[in-house]
Amino acid sequence: MGNYVFYTDGSCNVKTEKGGWGVVFCNEGEEKLYYGGSRETTNNQMELMAIIYAMELSIKRGYKSIQIYTDSEYCINSIVDYLPKWIKNKMTKSDGAPVKNQEMMFLINELKKNIKVNFTWVKGHSGNKRNELADKLANKYWDVCDEIDCGEAEIVFNPCRLYCIADTHNMC
């Protein structure tokens, strides 16, 4: 059994609403990079999408447990602390407001039934090599957003949108 580690990040240009996500996968010498994005999104959606992609990939590969490093306190707090309460309260926060990004939260909740995920927060833009790489991947999608032909890329289904995925090898 391997030590399955993912670094995830998301980004979004608030002016254009183009966003991207990046995932760095590391396991006993194997390192792979994944990125994708959406033309109409938010930063938090892209942070969540990176985590969803890491979880879906892990389940597809048959992993039972993974470690995810992220610089998103929003994601960690939402998934670890609040999601069980939100599910119980029909996706309503304690102040009565609806939870944002509900489709993604429901999907994460379903994925969690098939894999154990340990989350660790890392400070963004602090020199952590793999977190910085995930950030670069997330930002890379902004630059190529209009040029990607989804017909030639792997498509990952998410209830929110379809995402174009680029898979790059051994760039860590």
Q: Order of strands, edge to edge, in the sheet holding 5-12?
A: 116-121, 65-70, 5-12, 19-27, 30-38, 162-169, 154-157
- From the list 28, 95, 125, 169, the catalytic residue is 125
- From the list 20, 22, 132, 135, the catalytic residue is 135
Cα–Cα distance measured from residue 13 to residue 43, given in angstroms and rounded to the nearest whole number? 8
169 is catalytic: no
Of all residues in the chain, what percent carry a pLDDT higher than 90?
63
φ, ψ of residue 83 to 5 degrees: the values are -55, -45
- From the list 19, 36, 47, 132, the catalytic residue is 47
154 is catalytic: no
Contacts of 21 (CB under 8 A, 6+ apart): 8, 9, 10, 11, 35, 36, 37, 46, 47, 49, 50, 53, 137, 138, 141, 163
- From the list 19, 36, 71, 132, the catalytic residue is 71
User: Which domains can be identified in the chain, with CATH numbers?
Assistant: 5-169 (3.30.420.10)
Q: How confident is the model at residue 160 (pLDDT cuts 50, 70, 90)?
A: very low
10 is catalytic: yes
pLDDT of residue 40: 84
pLDDT of residue 122: 96
Q: Does pLDDT of 157 surpass 90?
A: no
71 is catalytic: yes
pLDDT of residue 18: 86
pLDDT in tens, 59-116: 999 999 999 999 999 999 999 999 999 999 999 998 999 999 999 999 999 999 999 9
- From the list 9, 20, 22, 36, the catalytic residue is 9
pLDDT of residue 95: 94
pLDDT in tens, 125-142: 888 899 999 999 998 876
